Structure 1
Amino acid sequence: MSSLAPNKQLSRFELTALVVGSMIGSGIFALPAAFGRTTGVYGALVAWAIAGGGMLCLALVFQSLSRRKPALDTGIYAYARAGFGDYAGVLSALGYWIGCCLADVACLILIKATLGQFFPILGDGSTAAAIVSASLLLWGFHFLILRGIKQAALLNTIATVAKLVPLAVFLFVVARGFQRDVFAWNGWGGDTPGTGTLWSQVRGTLLVTVFVFVGIEGASVYSRFARDRRDVGFATVLGFLGVLCLLVLVTILSYGILLRPDLAALRNPSMAGVMEAVVGPWGRVFVSVGLLVSVLGNYLSWSLLAAEVLHSAALNDAMPRGLSRENAAGVPSAALWLTNGVIQAFLLVTWFAEYAFTLALKMTSAMTLVPYLLVGAYQLKLALQGETFQGDRAVVRTRAGVIAAIATAYALLMLLAGGSRYLLLSALLYAPGSVLFFLWQRERGAARLNRYEATACVVLCAAALWALWALASGRLRL
């Protein structure tokens, strides 16, 4: 049970809303075009089978760890630190935090791109006017969150319920307008049938599928606020299954409305274009309004998660202690200021990006896959060593190990499938974490890196230097 005052505790419903609210946001409204650019129906089904299976195993890992390691109640980074040491813990916290920041940037870009359909000055969300207006929105939410976590979580719950209404209407409309001949043509999406073609198509969508599932750990991050720790695992699995159904339906039904080239040509939010193709211009307006409600709620969820992970890490001596400072309302104010400062910097960088939304989307996936990988590996380590499984039947331990192995392999596969571009850019963002770690270690007077940590550090810094050279020479582009 939580030791917090009842008015600061989160119920099972609120924890589930945090999971759903974190996952349903900018990504789901961009799925028709994102999939249409790379794959047809068969490739989409394979991609969702891989993503659904891998993420389900990850959800089950979070559920298991919430029961087996109840003392680790500070979120995703705590598992990496407990399993693999301080260096892995710091990098996990940093990577997850940066992923949250990039997810907020993706939300802000899509909000402005949506409004850009009606106000051309905002363009695709990366124009000067869009960046200025997004900055105003950023700091407006900043001061809202400073009023209190519980109040912000309540707003997130309301927004989560509100965002499901336009999604339900969209699914009803496209199901009624579904055309079997269009769907059949989109089977291979116009490409030559074959396993080689299929894998090429699937590979191009994998980072997109990761992005729409990022947030599955929302209940885990806020487990210290849970009224009952058993609710954390329940909220994670239930939220995941509900969102998976929505994602698959939005993707597959859209192939029955427009041919793949037409889907690929839709501007974001592409779901609005699909709706318009069925019912006319009012459909675009309806989906756009629903998107604004959804993404605003999603943005709030990510802001809460980003600040909480820094704050929790600082409380547990995995980040500088200054980041643990709270205001009178119990909000991690120092972490929130730093988070929104970084989001503001990323917003300015979007001015130079060729496809700002896609870059933010895929970089979010790449940054969060490393923490996911470490979480799966930690559960696998527990199962192999038998820790926390004393008294359990052998089949329970074996099942937990298999699930953890699949979750770990899935995260590793997604990292490699994303390609060298996103690995290099991720290294560029992870490398400063090593500097932060050294400074923190010196403050504590702690021991130096061990052999494995030193090797990882050298590889990471070398990749970051390579990324800098590639950016400067034009071989790597944002």
Structure 2
Amino acid sequence: MEKVMGFWRCWGLVIGIVIGNGIFMVPAVLAPFGKMSLVGWVIAGVGTIFVALMFGLLAKRNALIGGPYAYTRAAFGDLAGFLIGWGYWIAILTAIAAGSLAITGYLGVFFPVVTETPLNSAIVSLSLIWLVTGFNLTGVKATSTFLLVTSLIKILPLFIIAGGGLFISGTFSTEVIVPKGEATFQNISEMIMIIMWAYIGAEAVTLPSDGMISPQKNIPKALIAGTISVMIVYVLVSYSVMALIPMDVLAVSTSPIADAASIIFGPWGARLIAIVALISIISNLNANIFIVGVMPQAMSQDKNFPEYFTNLNDHGVPKVAIVFSGVLASLLVAMNFSDGLIGAFKTLILLSTLATLLPYIASSLAELVLQKKEYSEHKKRKWSSFLIAVIALIFSVFALIGSGLMIALQGTILIAAGLPFYFWVKRKARKIDQ
């Protein structure tokens, strides 16, 4: 890859991945939790900051291509690294599928026919995946520039929504439409799991390190700055949306931020925010497709994936990895549309979040193992680094509990499905070496 990504492009990648469809769709999914979800946004934000700090420690030590996969492999070996890389790849694939659904939902503001039937929505979602995949094949410079520009465009209108909502809402709608408003351990954990969909992704800036300028310096800075920026935006916007829209209405909304904008500014406001949401989610879809090829490419370089996944086009982009990933993301869209747009979206975000939290846990453990190794080599232990890794680990495990049995089972099956593939690749590599 071309080394064109400095701090601001890295920051744009963080914002582009993290602020995507989550803040534009998750408020509707969280409506059953009522006012308790505001506390959830803060808890998840603080926890994510510790996760970002943990990845910053890993990147500062060694900015390896492949991010969580590479760190886990360095600490625990090929098999553990492969399973985490495979799981993280699944997470990005499901994020791509969910992102295409979210764009389709907001297109319905302008063209209602798009969301009239599951078939219409599926066709539009699949078309979006392949349009953005084609753009990503044009190279890192064009993709990262688009990410930076769209990241700047989408933040300002979100602050306007937050300010407008706080200004005109005299009361805060806190009614709860189902018993999930009770602050039980399971409810809080499930809520954090859903909210984490809106926060996950910052760690992806560690993947394309070979395309960055001074990655050991810029990755940690971009991780922290980006995560804090996101948390501020999320808390303010979520409060405003919940203050403006009754919970029963919010729970069935396919474009909650646009609905809030229509209350503040009238019909034109809804259309304006729908445009911003589309820019934001397209930016997010672009970011995920940008990084989705890096994971199989990194594993292929280590002989943990078929060698043709390292094939690059004339622009230095892993073409086979990106196109093959587009095919799999398309299958995920097609498989989940029987539940309708919101039902499919919720299933995909829970599955993607589960598949991302596992690499968080593995990376936290990898950081602790690497710290222990450094300590055994008579280097001074940094207790602040130890605490960061431990808190990131505890938070990730807590969020993981909220996935529920069915999603956890599906996620386990998907990750375990990689084992036969791993052993087949290793066997083939041994034959070539012989």
Q: TM-score, normalised by structure 2?
A: 0.92
* CA distance in 2: counterparts of 1:359 and 1:407, whole angstroms: 25
Q: CA RMSD in A?
A: 2.2
Which secondary structure state, in structure 2, belongs to the residue aligned with residue 117 of structure 1?
coil
* 1:146-185 superposed matches below 5 A: 146-179=137-170, 182-183=171-172
Segment of structure 1 superposing worse, 238-247 or 352-361: 352-361
Native 8 Å contact 1:31 1:251 kept in 2 = no
* Partners of 2:24 and 2:257 within 8 A in 1: yes
Q: Does the CA contact (< 8 Å) of 1:31 and 1:250 recur in 2?
A: no
Contact preservation (8 Å) 1:206, 1:418:
no
Query: Any idea what the Cα deviations from partners look like across 1:388-447, whole Å, max 9, x if unmatched?
Result: 98543x4x2x2211211111121112111211111011122112211111102212339x
What's the secondary structure of 1:256's corresponding residue? helix
Q: Is the Cα contact below 8 Å between 1:121 and 1:127 reproduced in 2? A: no
Q: Letter of the aligned partner of 1:56 in structure 2?
A: I
Counterpart for residue 313 of structure 1: 299
Is residue 2:53 matched to residue 1:60? yes
- Alignment partners' CA distance in 2, 1:311 and 1:388: 33
Match of 2:419, as an amino acid?
S
Instruction: Report the AA paired with residue 164 of structure 1.
Output: I
Of 32, 35, 50, which aligns to 1:37? 32
Q: TM-score, normalised by structure 1?
A: 0.84
Aligned residue for 1:248?
Answer: 235
Q: Does the 8 Å CA contact 1:38/1:204 hold for their aligned counterparts?
A: no
What is the one-letter code of the residue matched to 1:217? E
Alpha-carbon deviations, 1:218-252, whole Å to 9, x = none?
22112222211201110011100100111111112
Q: Tell me whether 1:411 sits opposite 2:404 in the alignment.
A: no
Letter in 2 for 1:85: G
Q: Which residue pairs with 2:9 in the alignment?
A: 14
Distance 2:185 2:267 in 1: 36
Q: Which runs of 4+ in 1 moved over 6 A?
A: 190-194
Q: Distance in 2 between matches of 1:442 and 1:12?
A: 41
Query: Structure 2: any 5+ residue segments left out of the alignment?
Result: none
Determine if contact 2:32/2:176 at 8 Å carries over to the other structure: no
Q: Distance in 2 between matches of 1:251 and 1:416?
A: 23
User: 1 or 2 for the larger relative contact order (CA 8 Å, sep ≥6)?
Assistant: 2
Q: Distance in 2 between matches of 1:308 and 1:191?
A: 42
Aligned length: 428
Q: Is the 8 A contact 1:95 1:371 kept in 2?
A: yes
Q: Conserved in 2, the CA contact under 8 Å of 1:19 and 1:239?
A: yes
Q: Contact between 2:28 and 2:250, CA under 8 Å: does it hold in 1? A: yes
Of all paired residues, the percent bearing the same amino acid is: 24
2:256 matches 1:263? no
Residue number in structure 2 paired with 1:232: 219
Q: Deviations over 1:9-31 (max 9, x none)?
A: 21110011001100011011123
SS of structure 2 residue aligned to 1:8: coil
- Could you tell me how far 1:133 is from its partner in structure 2? 2.4
Aligned equivalents of 2:422 and 2:407: distance in 1?
Answer: 23
From 70, 77, 84, the counterpart of 1:92: 84
CA shift for structure 1 position 285 = 1.1
Q: Partners of 1:261 and 1:137 in 2: how far apart?
A: 31
Name the stretch that deviates more: 80-89 or 114-123: 114-123
Q: Deviations over 1:102-152 (max 9, x none)?
A: 11111111111112233332227x721222222222222222111112211
